[in-house]
Chain A
Amino acid sequence: MPNRLELSGITKQFPGVLANDNVSFAVKPGEIHALLGENGAGKSTLVKMIYGIMQPDSGEIRWNGEPVVVPNPKAARRLGIGMVFQHFSLFEALTVLENIALGMDAKIPSRELEARIREVMQTYGLALDPHRTVATLSVGERQRIEIVRALLLNPQLLIMDEPTSVLTPQEVEQLFTVLRQLASEGCSILYISHKLHEIKALCDTATILRGGKLVDTCDPKEETSRSMAEKMIGTGLKDIVKPAGRSFGEPKLVVNRLLTHRTGHFDVPVTDVSFTVRAGEILGIAGVAGNGQNALLDALSGEIRSEDREAITIDGKAIGHMDTTERRRHGLCAVPEERNGHAAVADFSLSDNSVLTARDRLGMVVMGLINSGAARTYTGKVIADFAVKALGPAATAGSLSGGNLQKYIMGREILQKPTVLVVSQPTWGVDAGAAAAIHQALVDLAAAGSAIVVISQDLDELRTLSDTLAVINMGRLSESRPVAEFSVDEIGLLMGGVHGAEAAA
């Protein structure tokens, strides 16, 4: 029986980076095949070529034994390849039915389409109301739309791109059930992820990419997480250096019954949030995206001001009513999740980006005028201390890679030596080397006496960094406890919260 999909010698070059270098592997019919690798390893590029979004510079693709060229996604779908993207291609203002109709190539009258959708949902246990507007759906429900859309094509190969990054552990199990059923019916699955424990649980084979090259094709059930991680990352894993036997100092940040108000249709406000962080302590806040993390960060940074002055205090001083500039003067710095357009301005130089947050704490403003020399000097220090690969303080933020920009941003805040530092998703989309550097810097800052809050979706990161842990769900924060006292299941349930209850129903 020929391989469902076979790639031979696939190569793709972009300006400045060889995204895929002579990659070859095969997927059997009915196989769940993992494509494993860090960010930037070349997984997305490879899959885009399989789906026809791009063309390889050289190499051959074989489908059921026959060589093919896939010029565009329509052709891919005609072959029988379906894809569920990591970032959903959904239209918020339109209904589920309209969204699915848009993804179809054939023009099917809507009544017939609706009937077929209900049939698919029935077969695979994916519950959805076709007439609901997408904007009202949860993330897990939105993914179901994508899956139904792909399944309507009766695919022979289903590509899943990082499908679980936004799901609770319970939703992940539901997804796995669907995928196993599909595989048992003969559909092959190409499962892209960097989550080792999921791949071990789900997949039959794993192909590992690193730096655009194929490293290995192996059986995840035989390998250990550590061995696969080492193949993904390359060098031996370094453990974060945390000084042992630390004790914490005075409470630096006290948050008391913090609440925000709903600002748009789709965001989640925080309600009745209380916690304390002491000097030298790192508090981790875990949670699936969309549970109020942004509101929490904005409420702490000062972009959203509180009606209650005492809701947030630093070193005993009430700051709940202050704006971001005032809070920085009192020693609170924050790093939001989004690098581009929020934490930094892509079109501005790094020096100008330093002026954005550091100008008051570090005396860059004199009588309304900006001291550009001081800004340049500080930026130079950040670049040097954090090994930011940039041409200098005059380089535009947009010219830096994601990891380097994140290092610069973290460095810009950390070198201001804040009393309290709040960061959100500090290493999202960042390569392993830069992530390790950022983690070490945070730990060092805490050791110097600052209080740190880390909001993250990455449980591994939180378990590495945090001393204490709390979980945010639907805008409410659980009690914070020492991280060692949590088990993965417990965290998962707390993250799931309402979702978990729905799943059981």
Chain B
Amino acid sequence: MQFRLEKRPEPSRLMLYGTPVAAVVLTMFIGAIIFSLIGYDGIGAVREIFFTPLTNAFKWQDLGVKAAPLIIIGVGLSIAYRANVWNIGAEGQYIMGGLGGWWTLPAMMIAGVAGGAAYAAIPALLRTRLNVNEILTSLMLTYASVQLIYYLVRAPWKDPMGMGFPQTRRFASEALLPNIIPGTIVHAGVPIAIIVALVAWFIMTRSVFGYQMRVVGAAPHAARYGGFSENKTIWLALLVSGGLAGLAGMLEVAGPFQRMVPGFPTNYGFTAIIVAFLGRLNPLGVIFAGIVMAITFVGGEIAQTTIGLSNSATGVFQAMMLFFLLAGDILVRYRVRRVTPQVEARA
């Protein structure tokens, strides 16, 4: 029994919105099976990682706090990826935003955006002037920025009262992010994330800017014909995604961390890549995907304590979701048809 792929006349909307959901569900099933096969408690793992975070009101706060940076960065990446600008260095831009300042909140937010955007300007310059691939440059800069943190907390910015630990001073209260819901850890970053996503959705669907991003990504030659400059678009894509990543970094520093430590890079910048894809490069979808990813993070920590499953399992589940999503992508444009075998070949 053979199958053939046949192009659909129109992309299937059912598949477009259904594949991310199916990817998550499939990951749960297949993940449980595979983990069981290699000796772990497969069903337990899936339960702790995907479901337990939702049952506990305390954990919901954690979800919000973890989802916020993922959503903010993910929205930025979804805009850039739409334009076919592959910013892989969001983690580095996030770090640079986090290093932006420690004065008062409003200034810090601006510094955060500026820091992230400035760091993203480097790959933008190299791509537009010299046609250097932005994937490699943005990624290399990420590794470099991690080293920068290590240096800063070890030497110039070290807290003199920190008992020798590599970390900066704790931020003054003007520099701390307020908690939106008193008595919880849900900080202002959470509603900011939702607002960012909604604004981005509106801009991407209704504005000329959004149209420009989409058309440059879909057909660069047509975009030129339509009067959109590819170079300007690359700059905008990197500055916007870098700036948003920087904003997320600053919110994390002023919120959960309240100082700079070597452990600051928590891979949000990389996870946000998965968030962007899982959300189908749509800011509203990114909200959904950011929450799903946050669930897996929180769940991963839970699983570590309750069933002794290493944290790294979370990374495996996240990668599986992306695999299933990418695998399902083809169903958006093609349908599967059964093929009747042809007349036997003889020649």
- Whether B208 lies near A303 (C-beta < 8 A) is no
Q: How far is the CB of A342 from chain B (nearest CB, A)?
A: 5
Q: Which residue of A lies closest to B220 (CB)?
A: A341
With a cutoff of 8 Å between Cβ atoms, the chain A residues found around residue B347 in the complex are: 68-71, 75, 78-79
- Give the contacting residue for A369; candidates B11, B208, B214; CB below 8 A: B208
- Whether A368 lies near B345 (C-beta < 8 A) is no
A356 touching B218 in the complex, CB below 8 Å, given contacts A15-B6, A396-B10: no
Interface string of B4-22 (1 = CB under 8 A from A): 0010011100000000000
Kindly count the residue-residue contacts between A and B in the assembled complex, taking CB atoms under 8 Å apart: 82
**Stretch from A103-111, A272-280, A320-328, A468-476 at the B interface:** A320-328
- B316-347 residues with Cβ-Cβ distance < 8 A to A are 342-347
Question: Does A355 have its Cβ within 8 Å of any Cβ on chain B?
Answer: yes
Question: Does A395 have its Cβ within 8 Å of any Cβ on chain B?
Answer: yes
Q: How far is the CB of A294 from chain B (nearest CB, A)?
A: 11
Q: For the complex, what is the distance from the CA of A153 to the CA of B215, rounded to whole Å?
A: 47
- Give the contacting residue for B345; candidates A69, A301, A356; CB below 8 A: A69
Interface residues on A, range: 35 or more
With a cutoff of 8 Å between Cβ atoms, the chain A residues found around residue B346 in the complex are: 68-69, 71
With a cutoff of 8 Å between Cβ atoms, the chain B residues found around residue A328 in the complex are: 227
- The number of chain B residues with a CB under 8 A from chain A is 26
- Give the contacting residue for B225; candidates A72, A324, A365, A370; CB below 8 A: A324
With a cutoff of 8 Å between Cβ atoms, the chain A residues found around residue B225 in the complex are: 301, 303, 324, 334, 336, 342-343, 356-357
Q: For the complex, what is the distance from the CA of A69 to the CA of B345, rounded to whole Å?
A: 6
- Give the contacting residue for B208; candidates A79, A342, A365; CB below 8 A: A365
Interface string of B183-217 (1 = CB under 8 A from A): 00000000000000000000000111101001100
Question: Does A346 have its Cβ within 8 Å of any Cβ on chain B?
Answer: yes
Question: Does A399 have its Cβ within 8 Å of any Cβ on chain B?
Answer: yes
Q: How far is the CB of B234 from chain A (nearest CB, A)?
A: 17
A356 touching B215 in the complex, CB below 8 Å, given contacts A69-B347, A336-B225: yes
Q: For the complex, what is the distance from the CA of A191 to the CA of B219, rounded to whole Å?
A: 36
With a cutoff of 8 Å between Cβ atoms, the chain B residues found around residue A338 in the complex are: 221
Q: How far is the CB of B206 from chain A (nearest CB, A)?
A: 5
- Whether A356 lies near B222 (C-beta < 8 A) is yes
- Give the contacting residue for A357; candidates B207, B226, B345; CB below 8 A: B226
Question: Which among B206, B215, B227 has the highest number of chain A CB atoms within 10 Å?
Answer: B227
Q: Which residue of A lies closest to B9 (CB)?
A: A399
- Whether A347 lies near B211 (C-beta < 8 A) is no
- A62-81 residues with Cβ-Cβ distance < 8 A to B are 68-72, 75, 78-79
A369 touching B207 in the complex, CB below 8 Å, given contacts A71-B347, A347-B11, A357-B225: yes
Q: For the complex, what is the distance from the CA of A71 to the CA of B206, rounded to whole Å?
A: 52
- Whether A55 lies near B206 (C-beta < 8 A) is no
Q: For the complex, what is the distance from the CA of A21 to the CA of B187, rounded to whole Å?
A: 70
- Whether B219 lies near A345 (C-beta < 8 A) is yes
With a cutoff of 8 Å between Cβ atoms, the chain A residues found around residue B345 in the complex are: 69, 71-72, 75
Q: How far is the CB of A321 from chain B (nearest CB, A)?
A: 14
What are 12 of the A-B contact pairs (CB < 8 Å)? A55-B342, A79-B347, A301-B225, A334-B225, A341-B222, A347-B218, A356-B226, A368-B209, A369-B207, A370-B211, A395-B10, A399-B10
Q: Which residues of B contact A (CB under 8 A)?
A: 6, 9-11, 206-209, 211, 214-215, 218-219, 221-222, 224-227, 229, 342-347
| Contacts A341-B219, A370-B207 supplied; 11 other A-B pairs, CB < 8 Å | A15-B6, A69-B345, A72-B345, A303-B224, A324-B224, A324-B226, A342-B222, A357-B225, A368-B208, A370-B206, A396-B10
Q: Which residues of A contact B (CB under 8 A)?
A: 15, 55, 68-72, 75, 78-79, 301-303, 323-325, 328, 334, 336, 338, 341-348, 352, 355-357, 359, 365, 368-370, 372, 395-396, 399
The 7 closest A-B pairs by CB, nearest first: A325-B227, A71-B345, A356-B226, A75-B347, A324-B227, A345-B219, A399-B9
